[in-house]
Amino acid sequence: MDQSICPRFEKAISILSQRWTGLIIYQLLSGPQRFGTIESAIGVSGRVLSDRLKDLENEGIVKREVYPETPVRIEYSLTEKGSSFAPLMKEIEKWSQTWLNSPEESK
């Protein structure tokens, strides 16, 4: 029996396992958001968030929309590909509620 891992599965895990990526996707499930909103909601540094958003944009998971206003407004949202993570994220959320202690309970 072939026990090798499917290359597509391996790539999916590689994308999701990058630090902050899952939290960024989860945050954007609620709709389009500006950079500062995402940054403060998940507590990531601006540089790392910028890098992750670029990676997700290159993968076709996140869309960056620039509004020609003064000052310029930029919003990030999930593409159809990114939105398809919703059931997976909900299952991870459900699993974590059932099986993981909250940080306060771990003290």
pLDDT of residue 107: 59
Q: Map residue 4 onto helix, strand or coil.
A: coil
List of domains in the chain: 13-97 (1.10.10.10)
Written as six digits, the tokens of 99 are: 């099986």
Per-residue pLDDT reduced to its tens digit, 8-35: 989 999 999 999 999 999 999 999 999 9
Burial 35-54 (b: 16+ CB within 10 A, else e): eeebbeeeebeeeebeebbe
Q: Does residue 74 surpass a pLDDT of 90?
A: yes
Tally of CB atoms within 10 A around 27: 19
> What's the mean pLDDT in 37-47?
96
> What's the mean pLDDT in 69-95?
95
Tell me how far apart the alpha carbons of residues 65 and 63 are, in angstroms, rounded to a whole number. Answer: 6
Question: Is 76:33 a contact under the CB 8 Å cutoff?
Answer: yes
* Mean pLDDT rounded to a whole number for the chain: 92
pLDDT of residue 4: 77
